[in-house]
Amino acid sequence: MSLEKVISISGKPGLYKLVTQTRGGFVAESLMDNKRISVSVQNNVSVLSEIAIYTLSEEVPLGQVFQKIKDKENGAKTSVKPKDGKDKLEEYFFEVLPNYDEDRVYASDIKKIVQWYNLLHENNLLEDLVSMKEENKKEESE
């Protein structure tokens, strides 16, 4: 499953995968406890594939950031915890994405990225990043 099927719902913890569409929205399944919920069109929903992180030169898609974390951690969970202090989280993120814009990317954003990465890792959804990476290389070379 790609990041296009994984969403974050404002006001709800964790991540959800899209299950099916309904007349008034869609059904999503939590990656934390596999419970299904109905999401209406009024909910503020973000698709992970549409999220990007500000750097000093460009916006880097969240999938690429996850890939950099995965490379740094050799495919394992993050070495920092989401509840670690602001300085520790920023230091870690600086190692992952050295030119991130510190004025526009807050510690709360880094905390969320670390949480999301670990949740995707637990659900074996990071393997899709490799296939996405290869597809992007194919498109660039054509």
**What CATH number should be reported for the domain holding residue 117?**
1.10.10.1650
Reported as a single tens digit per residue, the pLDDT across 71-104 is 999 999 999 999 999 999 999 999 999 999 999 9
pLDDT of residue 137: 46
For residue 126, what pLDDT is reported?
Answer: 87
Phi, psi of 42 (to 5 degrees): -75, -20
Residues in the chain predicted with pLDDT less than 50, given as ranges, are 133-134, 136-141
Same domain membership, residue 60 and residue 105: yes
Q: How far is CA 96 from CA 11, 13, 20, 37, 113, in A?
A: 27, 24, 34, 34, 12
Tell me, yes or no, whether 13 and 72 share the same domain.
Answer: no
pTM of the model: 0.86
pLDDT value of residue 80: 96
pLDDT at 3: 87
Same domain, 72 and 97: yes
Task: Extract the tokens encoding 10.
Answer: 């404002």
Q: Which domain holds residue 90?
A: 51-141
CA atoms in the 13 A half-sphere facing the CB of 130:
8
| Structure tokens given for 90 | 């920023």
Distance of alpha carbon 25 from the chain centroid: 22
Q: Report the CATH number at residue 8.
A: 2.30.30.730
